[in-house]
Amino acid sequence: GQNIDQPTEMTATEGAIVQINCTYQTSGFNGLFWYQQHAGEAPTFLSYNVLDGLEEKGRFSSFLSRSKGYSYLLLKELQMKDSASYLCAVRSYMNSGYSTLTFGKGTMLLVSP
């Protein structure tokens, strides 16, 4: 089976930096995604890692270590609008030959003034 763990909640202040961790256990690993989801809305894509290392994209960066089953999402220069749930999702190849995307429970980030 698959297991994805991430903290339930985090708080930070405007302008700060926050790191959201994600650990996973899966077979047939084929990539890790980070999504942002505001309440009542669908997830929006933030980043994708399939090789080890850091991917930087503006204020957002994501890191992956496949050997450790570990990823983090780094948010810099936090803004109030960054208050949302951040979902770690792992893509895996299944025995059926198809791949599926499995989501963690999400980390609710609250940014305060």
Partner 1 sequence: GAVVSQHPSRVICKSGTSVKIECRSLDFQATTMFWYRQFPKQSLMLMATSNEGSKATYEQGVEKDKFLINHASLTLSTLTVTSAHPEDSSFYICSARDRGANMYGYTFGSGTRLTVV
Under the criterion CB under 8 A, does residue 110 sit at the interface with partner 1? no
The pair of structure tokens assigned to 44 is 């929006």
- Minimum distance from CB of 106 to partner 1 (Å)? 5
Query: Closer CB to partner 1, residue 3 or residue 13?
Result: 3
- Greatest extent of the chain over all pairs of C-alpha atoms, in Å: 48
Of the candidates 5, 14, 41, 56, which one interacts with partner 1 according to CB under 8 A? 41
Site size toward partner 1, by CB under 8 A: 22
For strands 29-37 and 84-93, give the pairing: antiparallel
Buried b (16+ CB within 10 A) or exposed e, 75-86: beebeeebbbbb
Under the criterion CB under 8 A, does residue 109 sit at the interface with partner 1? no
Under the criterion CB under 8 A, does residue 43 sit at the interface with partner 1? yes
What is the distance of C-alpha 92 from the center of its chain? 15
- Minimum distance from CB of 38 to partner 1 (Å)? 11
Under the criterion CB under 8 A, does residue 17 sit at the interface with partner 1? no
Indicate the burial class of 55 (C-beta count within 10 angstroms; 0-12, 13-18, 19 or more).
Answer: middle
Under the criterion CB under 8 A, does residue 38 sit at the interface with partner 1? no
Residue ranges in contact with partner 1 by CB under 8 A? 31, 33, 40-45, 48, 50, 87, 91, 96, 98, 100-106, 108
